[in-house]
Amino acid sequence: MTHSRAGVAAVALVALLLAGCGKPATPKVDPVTEKAEATERARQRDYGGKEVRALEDAKKIENDINKKAEARDPDAK
């Protein structure tokens, strides 16, 4: 009887493992929307909000500098 119980336990374990190997559940939230909402929540926080705003300001300055550099580029058409 000991061998049959071990066999049943092994079969049950294999069945459980195979049941978990299905198609992954689809996310319920759009990743782009979630990122935008998380950024907004981070901006509102007391701790870390200043850093998020500073990073966004730095990206705006970078884009502005790049536009000005492209406008002054003599090789640009």
Residue pLDDT, tens place only, 14-58: 776 666 666 767 768 788 999 889 888 888 887 778 888 899 999
More confident residue, 60 or 17: 60
> Residue 68: what pLDDT?
94
CA 14 to chain centre: 32
Q: Are 48 and 54 in contact (CB under 8 A)?
A: no
Q: Tell me, what's the pLDDT at 62?
A: 97
**Domain ranges in the chain?**
2-72
Count of CB atoms situated within 10 Å of the CB of 47:
7
Alpha helices, H only, the chain: 2-19, 31-44, 49-72
- Which of 3-7, 48-52, 67-71 has the highest average model confidence (pLDDT)? 67-71
Look at the block and give the residue holding tokens 């492209």: 70
Quote the DSSP letter at residue 75.
T
